[in-house]
Amino acid sequence: MSTERVSIVKVKEQRLDEALGRLIALLGDLTSIIPPNSRVLVKPNFVFPPTAAGITHPELVESVVRLIAETSPAGILIGEGSADVYTGQGFRFQGMDRIAVRYGAKLVDLNLEEGVKTSVPQGLGRDYIMVPRSVVDSDILISLPVFKLWGGSPLSLALKNLIGLYGANHYGHNKDSQQKADDPRYAIPGDVGTELGAHQPDVATSICAMNAVVPTHLSIIDALEGGDGKGNWIRLDTLIAGTNPVATDTVACHLTDITAADHRAFTLCNEYDLGPIDMSQIEVVGEKIQNVTFDLERLRTNVLEMPLAFCLELLNTHELLQIQRALHVYELVSEETPILEQREALLTFLTEVISSPNYFTRALEKCTDCAIDLLKIITEKGGTSGSTTEVAAIFKQTHNGLYYHPSHRILTRLGLAYLVDGTNRPYYLLAEGVSESCKHLSSQ
């Protein structure tokens, strides 16, 4: 049995194009995946923009389209069939019109297209699928799903992303609206469809059926953030890719301590020879799995503290330099300590200093009373379920409108609090041990 390859890379300092290039190179030559003169369809997950539940980051779509444009394609399509909104609205909210014009791509609403009747293997709940014409006419399908928990699948990844190919013209906007056509609160005239909805007889079977009919040539999982499916996110700056969607999804599940073989959508696809769900049959290249794992279930109870190395990696080099400068300003390092400029050297140095015994205690002693008060608010209201807006509002309210940012700057330049650029909401993380040091300070 052949081994499928899946690559993993970290995106550093928002250099997405560079990371994407490394990601694909780990899989092999780009032209072996996207031959010249190919008609390429990019399928993001824009199920219902705008939403806190999670959709593909538009900057990833643009980076992928830019990469495709370098292969001399016959044409580039960005295609989606949104569910609870109209696809054109989803395209507009995610800036797809701008991207399409810039790279000569065409936006395609898969919900409006006539389908091509395509036979489905026996045992998958339907005899045929009406596959959108643009999908049938494309040579290469690139899937860009999001790294998030979702229902019983259990993650919304490359396999599930093809649910968007069940176009509303035939299957209804809500994917089971034909079965609820008599409910005026649910079914809108003209949006119901005529075929057995994509959630029938069940989602796992429908996922397998579409993937058995439509091959995905490249899956790139958007793990720039990871979500719990309920609106809570954490910055991970990770990309996962493979040429087999089952193998790619299996690795993504493994990253969040989920076993693909425990879930029917995966076992069913494996039974129909669509790909392996055994990690021993998958070669993982690039980042080591243990360096990029995160249990997404944690997000449902809020994540306030993360390992120091994780927090520092969120920052760009300019921010790291600012912390280094602050260590000298506050005399937390000796005058002879050399000034560093390179990112990796800074990370090593700051990790050593901030993780040293009693650093948090010494750093807290350098803080103003207002900065300490802000840290206490962050300890109570911060984390991945929190919001910097809420934290700032509470601070101003408890300090009679006092300007918030000086206290914020003290905490961030001392490495006590880390501001995260979440798409859903910006939030604060703390390095492990900060909140405990803050409690100890309060008891004195």
One domain for residues 171 and 232: yes
Q: How far apart are CA 295 and CA 299, in angstroms?
A: 8
Output the six-digit token pair for 324. Answer: 């280094």
Helices (H), 214-342: 245-255, 264-271, 308-313, 317-329
Residue 190: pLDDT above 90? no
One domain for residues 142 and 268: yes
Q: End of a domain among 301, 329, 346?
A: 301
Residue 441: pLDDT above 80? no
> What is the CB neighbour count within 10 angstroms for residue 314?
17
- Going by pLDDT thresholds of 50, 70 and 90, the confidence category of residue 54 is confident
- Going by pLDDT thresholds of 50, 70 and 90, the confidence category of residue 191 is confident
One domain for residues 330 and 288: no
Q: How far apart are CA 412 and CA 17, in angstroms?
A: 28
One domain for residues 118 and 184: yes
Which residues lie closer than 8 Å to 393 by C-beta, 6 or more apart? none
Determine phi and psi for 225, rounding to 5 degrees.
-135, 155
One domain for residues 310 and 290: no
Give the pLDDT mean for 19-26. Answer: 97
One domain for residues 296 and 360: no
Residue 206: pLDDT above 60? yes
One domain for residues 324 and 367: yes
Predicted TM-score (pTM) of this structure: 0.95
One domain for residues 289 and 327: no
The predicted structure's pLDDT at residue 442:
57
Measure Cα distances from 391 to 218, 373, 385, 407 in Å.
41, 11, 12, 12
Residue 288: pLDDT above 70? yes
Q: Which residue has the higher pLDDT, 151 or 243?
A: 243
Residue range 214-223, pLDDT digits in tens: 999 999 999 9
Number of domains in the chain: 2
Q: Kindly state the percentage of the chain with pLDDT values over 70.
A: 98
The predicted structure's pLDDT at residue 2:
63
Helix (H) or strand (E) holding 169: helix 168-171
The predicted structure's pLDDT at residue 176:
76
Measure Cα distances from 169 to 28, 49, 68, 188 in Å.
38, 20, 29, 13
- Going by pLDDT thresholds of 50, 70 and 90, the confidence category of residue 37 is very high
Q: How far apart are CA 286 and CA 10, in angstroms?
A: 9
> What is the CB neighbour count within 10 angstroms for residue 405?
8
Q: Do β-strands 140-144 and 75-80 pair in parallel, antiparallel, or remain unpaired?
A: unpaired
Q: How far apart are CA 258 and CA 289, in angstroms?
A: 13
Give the pLDDT mean for 398-424. Answer: 94
Which residues lie closer than 8 Å to 377 by C-beta, 6 or more apart? 391, 394, 395, 398
Query: Average pLDDT of the chain?
Result: 94
One domain for residues 332 and 288: no
Domain that holds residue 169: 4-301
Output the six-digit token pair for 197. Answer: 């909805």
One domain for residues 336 and 284: no
One domain for residues 247 and 330: no
Q: End of a domain among 273, 301, 329?
A: 301
- Burial (CB < 10 A; 0-12, 13-18, 19+), residue 122, is exposed
Name which of 119, 98, 118, 96 is nearest 108 in CA terms. Answer: 96
Is the separation of the CB atoms in 99 and 58 below 8 Å?
A: yes
Q: How far apart are CA 308 and CA 20, in angstroms?
A: 26
One domain for residues 119 and 264: yes
